[in-house]
Structure 1
């Protein structure tokens, strides 16, 4: 006798929607999301779609009416609540567009709670398209099955970020001139925490001195090689998640 297929199917498309979700709700989808469901995923009436609203968690829905440019989805069941992510911020200096797109995408996949872009003296960019950035973050969250979108702040000058720094949040500062070994530093300090990553040309001497003067600042090293900004962000986030984040929690639950 053939096995009953798992439901909901793992291949079901996933979408974040602005409408707050609830049992038996009907969700009207149009625009780019409808194009994705109809033209890319080729859904039909009765197809399953996973929905998240960044508030109530993950829901399974069936496609009701499927038109040429819009889709009506009918909520079937609540699968899980909104996840709790580690209280970690990423504070990356703005990079060239394609490289910063990668930072946004991978930071979301790796589980940060918030992304606070910064502008430094050596940044090659000083602006960020908020709509494009939000789209990248949302699509990354959909791809990796997050139910909580990271907060995305507008770009802030480094001096302003440091001036308003919260007294209880550790600021790990990736310093090219050296510091505490990253894994050891992350394991020693708890949350809340943040990672500060510099631009292509690094921080200048005055910026480095200002960062180090912050009482909450902990200089760290990411090894013997000079890393690009996007590489440093991804590497440091991965190490932090393994040492102090939910990777470490998952490991402990299995032991």
Structure 2
């Protein structure tokens, strides 16, 4: 069932079920009361990434909080998409955009990776989580992707599940057409690795190309910024071997 885009959606940490009641936090209360101007009895949709999506009514209002009462299940909880998105952290504005877009495009796990040319060695995980939740709220996503702590490039490859095909965007590819390489992939478990603005180093490309579970793909004849490459690569993967 597709999301109901006519109703406001809200991510909450609380457990959800019939007749459960709870207070939402100050920021969410302010947004619902003062931005959307919702009063007692107004209905919204709530989800927590575990229990599906439920309708809920504003049961009471105060200056500090809104009290919600859960009513009826609207959509059952789906599993997380089985797609691991690995990315070199960028500077903040572009990183916010990247995280939001890959959530929209169907990533199930977001894995920051520190490469030789990575610009940001310690990304702000809490800010990234906030972007994950915001994208899920806006786009009707119930299975909120998992965001992992940053990992070194070498450790990522050493610990990688050999049964999961890892596709990486190779700016040094000898062709502009990614379709033959993608269409040759037979695994259903997939991962995507996009490098930093400066690209992968020669050593990192050699390491990737030497691994049997890795597939290199080009992204056409133009040079793309890393956040653009993320969206382009995910669109290609979802359209050829993904869930589109």
**TM tier relative to shorter chain:** over 0.9
Query: Is 1:197 paired with 2:194?
Result: yes
Query: Is 1:183 paired with 2:193?
Result: no
Change (3 A) 1:85 1:164: same
Instruction: State the TM-score, normalized to the length of structure 1.
Output: 0.90
Matches within 5 A, 1:131-146: 131-146=126-141
How far apart are the structure 2 equivalents of 1:199 and 1:9?
36
Deviation at 1:238, TM superposition (A): 1.2
Deviation at 1:43, TM superposition (A): 1.0
Aligned residues: 240
Q: Could you give the per-residue CA deviations for residues 81-103 of structure 1, whole angstroms, max 9, x where no partner exists?
A: 11234311111111111111111
Matches within 5 A, 1:39-78: 39-78=34-73
Aligned partner (choices 222, 227, 235) of residue 219 of structure 2:
222
Q: Could you give the per-residue CA deviations for residues 139-195 of structure 1, whole angstroms, max 9, x where no partner exists?
A: 110000001100101111111101101010001010011167433433332321111
What is aligned with 1:110? 105
Deviation at 1:244, TM superposition (A): 2.2
What is aligned with 1:251? none
Change (3 A) 1:9 1:140: closer
Q: Report if aligned partners of 1:15, 1:52 keep a CA contact under 8 Å in 2.
A: yes
Q: Report if aligned partners of 1:179, 1:219 keep a CA contact under 8 Å in 2.
A: no
Q: Could you give the per-residue CA deviations for residues 206-240 of structure 1, whole angstroms, max 9, x where no partner exists?
A: 11111111211101011011111001101111111
Deviation at 1:74, TM superposition (A): 0.8
User: What SS does structure 1 have at the residue aligned with 2:24?
Assistant: strand
Instruction: State the TM-score, normalized to the length of structure 2.
Output: 0.93
